[in-house]
Structure formats: structure tokens, C-alpha cells
Structure 1
Amino acid sequence: MSNETLSIEARVTGHPFLSGMTPNQLKVLVGCAKRLHFEAGETVFRTGEAANGFYLIESGEVAIDAVGKKKPVTIDTLSAGDPLGWSWIFEPYRWQYDARAKEPTVALFFDADVLRKHRGDDLMFGHELFKRMCEVMVRRLQSARGKLADVLED
């Protein structure tokens, strides 16, 4: 079966970021997932907009940009297999960075309203998502720190 013909269920259950989650947890994720396409240069989300979910990049590249006074600074570049977006976890549920496709990109998108409901109903589901997203946050902060050090040296 080609990558194009895989079902949402197969894409979600086979994604490394979600490895180790229970069948019931994966069922929730499958139920709120959809596949999205972004063209090169297209904005995925902007700083301050409502954080309405998270993405798992299937193909392509997405830049995470910090909005500066003069120009955006790319904090990180994500590619196939990478998760994108953790701001949906914390109030006020607003994106902290801009994200834009650097090339044609395909991603799975997971609806935050569904995820928030289930994390409240099922504490283990919430724990699994939070644990995975914390790892993402640490990587992003490390990347931002490295970029900041580079900017300050210039």
C-alpha cells in the first residue's frame, strides 16, 4: 500500500510519536485526526492565534519562526516525523510562534477540543499526551536558546 492510500487510522497508529499509546488512546486520536496539505510559503499558524490542535508532519518542512521587530527568526525547522504545536495544552491556548511551510508539506492535524475533553475524562490519556508534548517543548526551548546565542554573538 502506498503512503498516499494509507488510512488515517494506519497513519496515526503507525506514527513513531504515538508509539506505546494504548489502543483506546489511539482510537481517540484517530477520531479527531485529519490530513492537511500546505503549499510552500503557506502559514500553518501565527503567533497569538487560537491554538486549536497539534500536527504530526508526514512530509515536507515547516519553519517555526519567532516574530521580531525587524524580521522573523527561524527557531527550528521540522520535517517528516516531527510533532508541531504544544500551545493547545496551556491556557490561554494561543500560538507562541509562527509556523510556515518551507516546501509542500503534508501533516496530520489533531483537534484540541477533543483532546482537552479526553485528557480530562481519562487521566492516563492526558498524562501520555503531556509527557510527549513536554519532550517537544524542551527541544524547542533548546533550539530557541541556541538561536538566541547565535543572534547575540552577531
Structure 2
Amino acid sequence: MGVVTGADLAREPFLSDVRTADLTRLAKAARFTQIPAGRRIFNESDPAERFWIIRDGTVAVDLQMPGRGPVVIETFGPGAVLGWSWLFRPYRWRLGGFAATPVQAIELDGRLVRTLCAVDPSLGYELTRRFAELVVERLEATQTRLLELSDVNPVNDASLS
């Protein structure tokens, strides 16, 4: 697989239009990784110290629900970014995740990326903006999934009159 380069990162949709110099710096925090099917990648409440760009395979993100156990909220495949908790305090996973199939990914060291962002505020702003958009998308998807799983029926407005 070799060393991750800025060119490797530029091919990923999430980072496709980031400045070349920034991609070169980010590549220093990156490595190629393979994750076998069934392996837990992270658990709710554990320290969040990395994130991944999925190149091949599928990852399922789950949430521990009282009385139900883990519930898969969403699955992600090639091109998806996995993990944002490394960027926001308290740097702990809000959800869990496991490899639903064998996964090939680019893994980035979140602590080192945070340092790069602190040194270069324009990089910090760009990544924070991209991850904030990702968080909003994921929260909306989670809300939809939880509503689908809910046993609660919506209130009939006609019954209120």
C-alpha cells in the first residue's frame, strides 16, 4: 500500500479541493489500514483519537439503546469519512462502529491533525467547517433512523380539538 501522500488524500471526495500544501501536511498524520470484518473500530465513550476515510468495504455505526442493546444507526462505504469526535471536546466517541465487511481505509491521527490545525488556523477552519457539515448530516440521519425505530405514534392533531 505504501505511504499516504497528499495526492492520495486529494482523490478522496471529503478532501478533494483542500490546498495541496495542507494535504501534504495531513498526509504526515495518515496511514493506510485494513480492518477485518466484525472488528469493533471504536466504542461509545472511549477516547476518540483518530478518524478514517473508507476506501473499500462497509462500516456500521451503532448506538447503545437502553432495553434494546446496540442499534445500527447508519452504514458507510467507500468515500465516507468515519469519525468526528476526535475534533470536538471531550474527544470521546458519541457512537460505536464496527467493520461490517473487510475495510480498507486511510486512518488519520486526530491528535496530530488537531495540532496541525492549531498551527495553521486556515487549515483548522477548513477542516472544522467540513466536519461540522458532516456532523449535521449525521445527526439528521440519526434522527431519521431513530424515528423509524420508534414505537411511538405521532399525535393526531384532530384529536386535540
Q: How does 1:1-154 map to 2 (within 5 A)?
A: 7-9=3-5, 10-69=7-66, 70-153=68-151
How many matched pairs?
Answer: 150
Q: Which blocks of at least 5 consecutive residues in structure 2 are unaligned?
A: 153-161
Q: Distance in 2 between matches of 1:147 and 1:8?
A: 35
The code of the aligned residue for 2:123 comes to F
TM-score by length of 1: 0.92
Q: Cα offset for 1:153?
A: 3.8
Letter aligned with residue 14 of structure 1: R
Shift of residue 7, structure 1, vs aligned partner: 4.9
**How far apart are the structure 2 equivalents of 1:112 and 1:103?**
24
Tell me how far apart the structure 1 counterparts of residues 141 and 72 of structure 2 sit (CA, whole Å).
Answer: 10
Question: What's the TM-score once normalised by structure 2's chain length?
Answer: 0.88
Runs of 4+ in 1 over 4 A off after TM superposition: none
Percent identity, aligned pairs only, is 32
Deviation, 1:11, is 2.0
The amino acid of 2:143's aligned partner reads R
Structure 1 unaligned segments of length 5 or more: list them.
none
Native 8 Å contact 2:61 2:75 kept in 1: yes
> Quick check: 2:34–2:102 contact (8 Å CA) kept in 1?
yes
Q: Equivalents in 1 of 2:114, 2:100: separation in Å? A: 30
**Which of these two proteins has the greater Rg computed from alpha carbons?**
2
